[in-house]
Structure 1
Amino acid sequence: MLIKYDDLPLQQTVESLAYVETSDRDAYGRYWFNGYDPNGEFYFGIAFAMYPNREVMDCALSIVRKDGSQDSFRASRRCPLDRTEMEVGPLKLEIVELMRVLRVTITDNDTGITADLTFTATSPVHEEPVDRVRQEGGVRMVAKMQRYTQFGRWNGFIAIKGEKQAIVNACGMRDRSWGWRFCGEPQGGTHRLRPNQAFYLWAPIFWPDRCTHYSTWEKADGLALKDFAQVFPLYENDTAFDVMDGSGFRTIKAGEHRLRFEDPDSRFATGGEFDLIEGSRITTVKVEPLLRFHMYGIGYGHPEWGHGMWKGELEYTSEHWNVNDIDKQAVHFQHIQQVIRATAGDQVGHGVLEQTVIGPHDRYGFGEGRTPLGAK
């Protein structure tokens, strides 16, 4: 079956663009966004993805405010053959200008959550290293993903049952990823399809004259499965810059992290620092968390509305909770992003610290208590 975009010379196989090359059930393509007030007044996250071999297209928007209240809108539909139809019930994603301007709207619906948000790039796009994960103790490649990232600004609003949160020049970042990864209902067969240990840190930060990007993904013994650091040029007042121009971009090295976990009832970082290494120069970035957002709100680890789960032809729903009242040991609440204040020497920045800490991690003493999936 053809789709209208087959009229463009973009095919990578002998099939129509309607079909993905792999038959892996977990094949996907995703758009992900965050936006936040640098002082921690609010943070929001957005996910929009399609899983062609699962016949699912789903999306979510969630916002947390300074008082800890977090609200989420989630929607799912049967994935259309033409995956450029990026609309799931009342939520729609529009690519206004490729690699530069994107818009997310939620029209009036019975959840009481509406939105009209426009993301405008302030940096070029750039790729991360490819993710590759083999089944532990086996040979199957259970995740292989490519991702690019970009910094930008948000304008618009999010309204919860008539209470409108204005979004004015809010900081944010987006990524676009594709490949295959864990999603949907668990597959049968071997019990070793999904890892039961994770230590992941991710920290994109706005500085006055640049943006930095730090990430590490480690095994229990601290060995990095993937780590990287990058420096993006920042074009705050230049709407005509070339989003594909990588000349101002630099790849540097992700150095050591030294986090604090001072809450005895959780694994949520309470502060710390990490190093960025460029040649012989080491820059230490100190981070101070201001506001916590649970990625559960946009489907990560959700037991009923997880990414790629089949919900029927069209369903949408909402959910409300307060992050101060949750069970801090619940596994599905371990994936978080925190708005942070960052300092490096005499420079002050702001950004996000994402973390997932599940199972053992020797360096921080996890796995011996105070832990989901660890000994009590």
Structure 2
Amino acid sequence: MVIPSDELLSHQVVSTFDHVDTSDLQWCERVWFGAFDTTGRFFIGAGLGKYTNRNVIDAYVSVVEGSTQHNVRASRELRPDVDGLTVGPITYRISADYSRVGFRLDENDYGISLDVMAEGVVPVVEQRPQMFRRSRGRVVNHMIRFFQYGRAHGWLNVGGTRYEIDPASWVTQRDRSWGIRRSAAEYLPPPEGVDVGFGLQPPKRARITYYWHSVTMQFDDFALQYEGAESPEGERLGTHHGELWFPAGDNRKRLRVVNVEHEWDLVPHTTTNEVAGGRDLITLEDGSTMELTFRAMTRYSRKTGGYFGFRGWASGAWMGSQWVAGETLDLADPEVQAELKGGVWDYAVECRYGDQVGYGNIEPFIEGIG
């Protein structure tokens, strides 16, 4: 089937854009988008996932104010609208000149709406190396990602009150990924009475204790991104990667991050391994080091956006031709914390490097502890 994307001179296989050149159910294209004000009052998290071989496209938007998190999520059948980036009340937007991207959330039953766009202040940087992993001979991760940081503008409506999003005081982080990726939908149990996996070996999900980190930081004259996983003993697990790069027009050479040592402070007695702040010592490929400190200002649960499953839904799961859900959560409620345990959290952080102050997002994930 020919679709509008086929008018672009971008083909890389002898086929049309309505499908991909693999039948793997885990093939996806995903967007993650975060924006927050530098006082830490608001945090917006949003995402969109296109699962071509599952015939699913889904999206979510979360807004945190204080300890209250508002969520809207939606899913629809992908075809025939393969090129469309609207899912229920949520639309992922790309400007005509590709200089800005963002999300619009139309009025809905869950008390929030917004229109926020991001404009990059640094060029995009490609993840190096690409993510690749096999499990029992099968490729479960083979994907590429790029990152960009910038400033946000637009508006936000919470509970009937409208707030302007001013680029002077709002920062953004985003990433785009595509390829074969272990899907959150794999972590959902089949519905009662339905043997979805009949004749198939269940996925291997070793329950080991490990620590995962993904960090993005932007300062006035440089940006940093690094991520990886470690055992409790500090042993590296899988691929680590990261990079230091500079604003558009700055010709300084980008430098790879080759090692990171963490000293992160957890908030006592929290079942979700809440992070208060910390210190990172970064080693670059030229042998130089950077010591950065940060403090957490606010956070939101990405579990409600489909990571590892939430209330019967996970990213990539078939929910029917059209589906919308949402709720408001009190993150200080012990019952809510128990429900969100084991999920991914994003933190809006204030960062310091010497006398410089910057802002960023950290994503710590600790499996098997707490």
The normalised TM-score by structure 1 is 0.86
CA distance in 1, matches of 2:82, 2:32: 16
Q: Which of 142, 145, 150 lines up with 1:144 in the alignment?
A: 142
Counterpart in 1 of 2:205?
194
Counterpart in 1 of 2:224?
212
Structure 2 CA distance for partners of 1:128 and 1:321, relative to 1, 3 Å: same
CA distance in 2, matches of 1:247, 1:19: 40
Structure 2 CA distance for partners of 1:134 and 1:341, relative to 1, 3 Å: same
Counterpart in 2 of 1:343?
352
Structure 2 CA distance for partners of 1:54 and 1:98, relative to 1, 3 Å: farther
Counterpart in 2 of 1:165?
163
Q: Show the 5 A alignment for 1:272-351.
A: 272-278=278-284, 279-303=286-310, 304-327=312-335, 328-330=337-339, 332-351=341-360
Counterpart in 2 of 1:113?
112
CA distance in 2, matches of 1:148, 1:72: 26
CA distance in 1, matches of 2:133, 2:356: 37
User: Comparing 122-131 with 79-88, which one deviates more in the overlay?
Assistant: 79-88
Counterpart in 1 of 2:276?
270
Structure 2 CA distance for partners of 1:248 and 1:153, relative to 1, 3 Å: farther
SS of the counterpart of 2:166?
strand
Task: Give CA-to-partner distance per residue, 1:223-255, whole Å, 9 cap, x none.
Answer: 2312222122135xxxxx6xxx98653323232
Counterpart in 1 of 2:91?
92
Structure 2 CA distance for partners of 1:275 and 1:289, relative to 1, 3 Å: same
Q: Which amino acid aligns with 2:351?
A: A
Structure 2 CA distance for partners of 1:330 and 1:226, relative to 1, 3 Å: farther
CA distance in 1, matches of 2:339, 2:365: 12
CA distance in 2, matches of 1:119, 1:18: 28
CA distance in 1, matches of 2:251, 2:26: 31
How far residue 103 of structure 1 moved from its aligned partner, in angstroms, is 3.4
User: Comparing 256-265 with 316-325, which one deviates more in the overlay?
Assistant: 256-265
Task: Give CA-to-partner distance per residue, 1:25-50, whole Å, 9 cap, x none.
Answer: 11100111000112211111110111
CA distance in 2, matches of 1:114, 1:307: 21
CA distance in 2, matches of 1:246, 1:223: 32
Structure 2 unaligned segments of length 5 or more: list them: 188-195
CA distance in 2, matches of 1:10, 1:199: 39
Q: Given the alignment of the two structures, is residue 252 of structure 1 paired with residue 257 of structure 2, yes or no?
A: yes
How far residue 99 of structure 1 moved from its aligned partner, in angstroms, is 4.6
Structure 2 CA distance for partners of 1:76 and 1:271, relative to 1, 3 Å: same
SS of the counterpart of 2:82?
coil
Structure 2 CA distance for partners of 1:270 and 1:295, relative to 1, 3 Å: same
Q: Which amino acid aligns with 1:141?
A: V
> Could you tell me whether the CA contact under 8 Å between 2:70 and 2:110 is conserved in 1?
no
Structure 2 CA distance for partners of 1:218 and 1:132, relative to 1, 3 Å: farther
Q: Show the 5 A alignment for 1:3-22.
A: 3-22=3-22
Q: Which amino acid aligns with 1:201?
A: H
> Could you tell me whether the CA contact under 8 Å between 2:3 and 2:83 is conserved in 1?
no
Q: Which amino acid aligns with 1:218?
A: E
> Could you tell me whether the CA contact under 8 Å between 1:62 and 1:73 is conserved in 2?
yes
Q: Given the alignment of the two structures, is residue 231 of structure 1 paired with residue 244 of structure 2, yes or no?
A: yes
Q: Show the 5 A alignment for 1:114-133.
A: 114-129=113-128, 130-133=130-133
Q: Which amino acid aligns with 2:317?
A: M
Identity %: 25
Structure 2 CA distance for partners of 1:231 and 1:119, relative to 1, 3 Å: same
Q: Which amino acid aligns with 2:16?
A: S
CA distance in 2, matches of 1:81, 1:147: 27
Report the number of matched residues.
Answer: 350
The normalised TM-score by structure 2 is 0.87
